[in-house]
Structures are given as C-alpha cells and as structure tokens.
Structure 1
Amino acid sequence: MSDLHLESGGDDGPAVLFLHGSGASGAVWKPVLERLRESGTRYRWLVADLPGHGRSGHREDYSPEGYADAVSAALVGLLGENASLNVVGHSLGGLVGMTIADGTHGVTVESLAVIAMKVAWTEEELARRSALADRPIRILPEEKEARELFGRISGLRGPAFTDEDRAGGVTARDGGYALSADPGITRAAPATGPELAARMLKVTCPVELACGDHDPGIDPADMAEVLGHPVTVLPDAGHNVHIERPDLIADLVERALGR
C-alpha cells in the first residue's frame, strides 16, 4: 500500500496533477483550485503531498526518480495504468513533473507546466541547504505554534488558508509537536544545469515555463536557457506565484486544457 497522500476531486474532465515545492504540502494549491472552481472549469484535480512532506511517509530516496516513482505508483493505483493527465509543478514539484513526463512511469503526461524552478545554486546556498538535513528537530510545546511555523515555511498564511490546512504539515512528537517533513529531504544535492537539461529533453509533451517577476531566487533567462523553453514572467508575484497570484496559475491550467 502506498504511503503517499494523494487527494482527488472535481469533475469527469481531464485530470490535472498539482505538485508542490520543497518544504510545503499539497495544501498550497488551494487558492488555484478555488479560482478554477469559480471559473467553472471542468476537470479532475489531483493533489499530492510529496514523499517526506506533509501527510506522506518518509523515504530513503529523495532523488528525482525516487519522488517520481512514489507519485507515479499512487497515480497508477488511483487512475490505472497509462492514464492521461496534465501536470503542474512548482519548484521541486516541477522537477518531479519533468521526471514523470519521460514516458517511463506508467502514466501519459499530456502537458507540463513548470513554475519557478531554480536551475543554479551557489556554494553558500548548497552548504546551507545541506546543513538543514542534520539540524536537530525542533519540538514545540503547542500544536498551534507548530502550525504557525509550518505556515511561515510553506507559505500557508493569510485568509486563504485555515489551521486545518497547516495541520497537514505537523505531527505529534516527543511530548510536543514538530513539522512532519523529513529533514533528510535536503541531504541530496539539488538537480542543476546539465541534469535538468537532460531531463527536459526526455519530455515529449507540450511544456510551459513560468516564474514571478519578483522571485529573488529565479532568473527567467537562466531558467529558459537550461530548460530549453521560453519563460513567461508573471506580474506582481514572488516565488509562491500559486499563492500570491492564483488567477495567473489558473489561467495557465486553462490554457493547457485548451479552454
């Protein structure tokens, strides 16, 4: 039985899988799903908590293939072998989506949208990231404090999100509460230039790339050069475009569906 948390809803239209970024959970897509509901878009949505995140189990393998294998197995279990779907991935979720879309994971990807993918890292950034894996787990006495911490890390703040949304990233531990995410997700080095380019070359479906115009960690020119597709720069948004400008991501989904 899969220990990957996968939710589904909506109509009998085309399926759209939403994949979140590192340190977050599937709840980050709530504003986009609400926009699509308001617009009357008929589709079936699927939202996963990636392995080591949210309500999904921890694993040893947090490589792109490890993530993709886990997500694909859950998809095949729910939809059946060779089911067709569209994929929207933010940051890490974009990398997982690229890997699933290589035609070897038992599902057929009709379109892929990659949002805010970091394609280059400095040595300082890599050192900070690696150090997170060995940092002692922070235990908080109150569940409310842990939920607030997860909200700050994941972007689940503001009126669009509830305590229940944030609870998906928290677990009881050692007489208190901690984030449910596995610290080990940052132990493996992130994929960069040549690896990302090679993975994108294996993707055969239509691809759309996008990032926010105020994203401090993403250079759209670098993203376009490495991934080999033009990047749409979305206005008035930082890294979490799907939270800050869900209308723009909903538009992107509707374009992929031909609406």
Structure 2
Amino acid sequence: MTDLRVLSGGESPPTYLLLHGLGATADVWSGLAAVLGDASWVAPDLPGHGGSPPLPSYSFAEVAAAVAGLVDPRGTVIVGHSFGGVVGLHLATCPGVLAVVGLGVKTAWTDEELARAAALAERPAPLYATRGEAAQRHLRVAGVEGLMFEAPEAAVVETDAGWRPAFDQRAFGVGEPGVAALVAASPVPVVLARGEHDRMVPASSGVRALPGLGHNAHVEDPASLLNLIKPPF
C-alpha cells in the first residue's frame, strides 16, 4: 500500500471501505460517515487524488492494489462511487470482503467516450493564479460543484507556476472497466445503484434507483445509501 491520505472513524464491525470517484477525494464521504453511527469506516484518497501520491501508471487493478491493505479481513463492505465502484469490484476477492456496493458505476462505454478520456489523460494539469480558482476546478472535475461549498485542503497544491488541482489527470486513461465481467466473477454479493436522475449512468436492469438524486447521490443524500450498504444484500 502506498502512503495514502486516509480518513477513518467508528469502531463497530463490519468496516465500510469508502472509495470516491475520479477526481474527488475521501472528503465526499463525510456525510455518509456522519450517518453510520459507530460503524467502522475507512476512506482513502485514491492514488493520484488529494493527499495521496500518484502511481507510475493507472489501471483499475493498480489502483485496487494500492488500497487493498485497507480491507479489514475481519469483515469489510466496500462502497465505491463511479470509478471507485470499479476499483471496489477488483477488491471483491480480498479475504474479508462481505459485499461490494457500486454507486453511479457506468457499465457501458463507447469508443468515442474512451477516446475522450484518453485525450484528457494526455493533457497537462491546468494552472491558476489563486487557490480559489484551483479549488473551483477541483469541485467541477469531481462533479460536486454546488454540492460541496469548499474544496478540502488536500485537493489543490501550489507550484512555482501557480495553483492546480492535486488530481493526476493521467488517471483518466484507465480504459474500459469491464464491469459485467467483474460482477460475474465476484465471489461476494454485488449491489449496483444509481441516482434516478444520473445523466452519466442510464437506467438498466438490475441497477437500483435512488429517487430524486443524481450522479453524486452519496453527497446529495448520504442517508439514502443506508439501505443499500447494510445486510441483507
């Protein structure tokens, strides 16, 4: 496990391993952590995000390997949003994993969408004159602009040339996630859900809908996840 920035709390089993989406940080889970009561939870900044160092290269498997040490072998429910949901599916075979809950996981990608993502991965990080501008960019890339009013301290960094989001844009190049195969191969229950109004993830069979919510349902209404993440799955 690389030297990750990790938030945690609670003591009661099982442990909830909370994995954020692309461009975000662990701080997006603060609302869910607040409604988990005394349940144990762990939320890392994924590699190349926030206060966690970048990887030499990015794939879903490599990101999963970097956080696998956070799986509690005594019992862990993995809750991942979007990108983090796919990372969670790669961790399904780890000892102690009880279930994987994926929120807002895009299961089908077109060649055009993958090409756009690969192009973004090649772009240099944007630079800004002020921290505020870089922080606003972070909120926009993370998809939480208007949902979170401040970017966490770890979300932006100052360089000699100006301020920039901490997010390593090379992570855009992870490629097609292969969600169907990962779900089929999972040895533990998998729950997939989406906000009813999620424009990134179309409604499909077997994906539960959270009424009135969008792509970042865990930020909009954290309590809406409670029935998804507690047994029976």
Superposed pair shares fold, TM > 0.5: yes
Tell me the distance in 2 between the aligned counterparts of 1:133 and 1:4: 22
Superposed, 1:53-202 pairs within 5 Å as 53-73=49-69, 75=70, 79=72, 82-103=73-94, 107-158=95-146, 161=148, 163=150, 165-191=151-177, 195-202=178-185
Tell me the distance in 1 between the aligned counterparts of 2:114 and 2:144: 25
Q: Which amino acid aligns with 1:61?
A: S
Tell me the distance in 1 between the aligned counterparts of 2:123 and 2:161: 19
Tell me the distance in 2 between the aligned counterparts of 1:214 and 1:161: 19
Tell me the distance in 2 between the aligned counterparts of 1:10 and 1:102: 24
Tell me the distance in 2 between the aligned counterparts of 1:171 and 1:5: 14
Gap change, CA 1:25 and 1:69, over 3 Å in 2? same
- 1:168 is paired with a residue of what secondary structure? helix
Q: Which amino acid aligns with 1:185?
A: A
Tell me the distance in 2 between the aligned counterparts of 1:121 and 1:12: 38
Does the CA-based 8 Å contact 2:13-2:75 persist in structure 1?
A: no
Is 1:220–2:203 an aligned residue pair?
yes
Report how many aligned residue pairs link the two structures.
233
TM-score, structure 1 length as denominator? 0.82
Q: Which amino acid aligns with 2:122?
A: D
Q: How high is the sequence identity, in percent, across the aligned residues?
A: 36
Aligned match for 1:246, one of 214, 222, 233: 222
- 1:29 is paired with a residue of what secondary structure? helix
Deviation digits for residues 193-229 of structure 1 (CA, Å, limit 9, x no counterpart): xx322222221222211101111121231xx4xxxxx
Deviation digits for residues 225-253 of structure 1 (CA, Å, limit 9, x no counterpart): xxxxx221111111111112212113323
Tell me the distance in 2 between the aligned counterparts of 1:151 and 1:130: 21
Deviation at 1:157, TM superposition (A): 4.2
Does the CA-based 8 Å contact 2:82-2:102 persist in structure 1?
A: yes
TM-score, structure 2 length as denominator? 0.91
Compare the two structures and name the one with the higher helix fraction: 1
Does the CA-based 8 Å contact 1:101-1:108 persist in structure 2?
A: no
Tell me the distance in 2 between the aligned counterparts of 1:125 and 1:113: 24
Aligned to 1:227: none
